[in-house]
């Protein structure tokens, strides 16, 4: 019953978001062109890095392309859902329109995380998958059931970690009001996720695994694709994703107790 209601509401979210975005046709076109150029630029940059040695951190160019593909999919998801919704939290809190969300008989985290959608991000997701299929072919990866399940688990976990980190930062707006910079820093760290973790020094690897788990976001799913992955890493990613999701949820509910609404 509850699931049916939430699906119905989400269908409405999709409908209103698409309708809103389609009001501005040129904007969509520009976004689509930007997504294509951005992917081409990224592959070009990656090819420059590999021009001399052919290997970075033990990864070949064809293998590193997998990370780029996963990064493109995640970036597409970021642009489709996280960017239009989670940056809006800051606006909701600053302007006091979170009041309307909190007074609706629906989960507030669901509402503010999924209300909007940016259709042009879908192209990025599609491009990411196309690149991934291309990588599967050139790296001669065997597409069996175990491989597909593990890929799905690790990519889902990556999405959860990224969402939780972003949502956590946005929630702090309840106390700090402006947190744009922190979100920009997170996005910058995500760019780093385009490169294999082994290409960084030991200290940076620790930093990107423990403090800001970028390693979990792109490198572990890529290792699954290449058959390098070990089980403990996948289990660890699942644990990290679960802990992050639960913590972000608890943190949101805790933060709401301090919400004072904007003055009228």
Partner 1 sequence: MVKNIIDVKNLSKSFDISYKETGLKGTIKHFFRRQTKSLKVIKNISFEIKEGEIVGFLGANGAGKTTILKMLCGLIYPSEGSILVSGYLPFRRKENFLKNITLIMGQKQQLIWDLPPIESFYLNASIYDLDKFEAKKRIKKLSEMLEIDKELFIPVRKLSLGQRMKSELLAALIHEPNILFLDEPTLGLDINAQRNLRKFLQKYNKETNATICLTSHYMKDITSLCKRVICVHEGAISYDGKLDLLLKKLSPVKEILIVCRSEEDAIKLENYGFTVKNKIKNEITIKIENNSITSSLKTILNNFDIEDLFINEPPIDEVIGKVLIKKDYDI
In angstroms, the CA 150 to CA 225 distance is 9
Supply 5's token pair.
């209601």
What is the full DSSP assignment across 146-214? Answer: HHHHHHHHHHHHHHHHHHHHHHHHHHTHHHHS--HHHHHHHHHHHHHTTS-GGGS-HHHHHIIIIIS-H
Shorter beta-carbon distance to partner 1: residue 11 or 137: 11
Give the footprint of partner 1 on this chain (CB under 8 A): 5, 8-9, 11-13, 15-16, 19-20, 23-24, 95-97, 99-100, 102-106, 257, 259-261, 263-264
Contact (Cβ atoms closer than 8 angstroms) between residue 35 and residue 124? yes
Shorter beta-carbon distance to partner 1: residue 10 or 122: 10
In angstroms, the CA 29 to CA 36 distance is 11
Name the minimum Å distance from CB 115 to partner 1: 9
Name the minimum Å distance from CB 22 to partner 1: 9
Shorter beta-carbon distance to partner 1: residue 1 or 210: 1
Name the minimum Å distance from CB 88 to partner 1: 12
Shorter beta-carbon distance to partner 1: residue 16 or 198: 16
Name the minimum Å distance from CB 108 to partner 1: 9
CA distances from 45 to 39, 51, 55, 226 (A): 10, 10, 14, 22
Shorter beta-carbon distance to partner 1: residue 16 or 149: 16
Name the minimum Å distance from CB 35 to partner 1: 22
């Amino acid at each position: 019953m509850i699931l049916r209601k939430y699906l119905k509401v989400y269908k409405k979210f999709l409908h209103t978001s698409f309708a809103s975005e389609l009001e501005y046709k040129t904007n969509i076109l520009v976004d689509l062109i930007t997504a294509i150029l951005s992917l081409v630029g990224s592959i070009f940059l990656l090819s420059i890095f590999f021009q001399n040695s052919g290997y970075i951190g033990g990864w070949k160019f064809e293998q590193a392309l997998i990370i780029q593909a996963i990064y493109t999919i995640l970036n597409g998801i970021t642009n489709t859902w996280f960017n239009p919704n989670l940056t809006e939290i800051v606006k909701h809190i600053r302007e006091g329109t979170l009041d309307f969300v909190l007074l609706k008989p629906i989960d507030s985290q669901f509402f503010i995380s999924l209300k909007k959608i940016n259709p042009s991000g879908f192209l990025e997701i599609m491009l990411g998958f196309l690149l991934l299929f291309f990588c599967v072919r050139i790296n001669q990866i065997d597409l069996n059931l175990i491989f597909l399940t593990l890929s799905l688990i690790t990519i889902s976990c990556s999405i959860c970690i990224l969402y939780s980190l972003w949502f956590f930062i946005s929630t702090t707006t309840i106390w700090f009001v402006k947190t744009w910079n922190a979100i920009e820093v997170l996005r910058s760290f995500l760019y780093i996720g385009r490169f294999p973790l082994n290409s960084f020094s030991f200290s940076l690897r620790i930093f990107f695994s423990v403090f800001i788990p970028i390693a979990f976001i792109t490198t572990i799913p890529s290792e699954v694709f290449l058959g390098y992955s070990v089980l403990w890493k996948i289990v660890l990613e699942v644990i990290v994703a679960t802990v992050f999701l639960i913590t972000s949820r608890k943190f949101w509910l805790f933060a709401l107790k301090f919400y004072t609404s904007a003055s009228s």
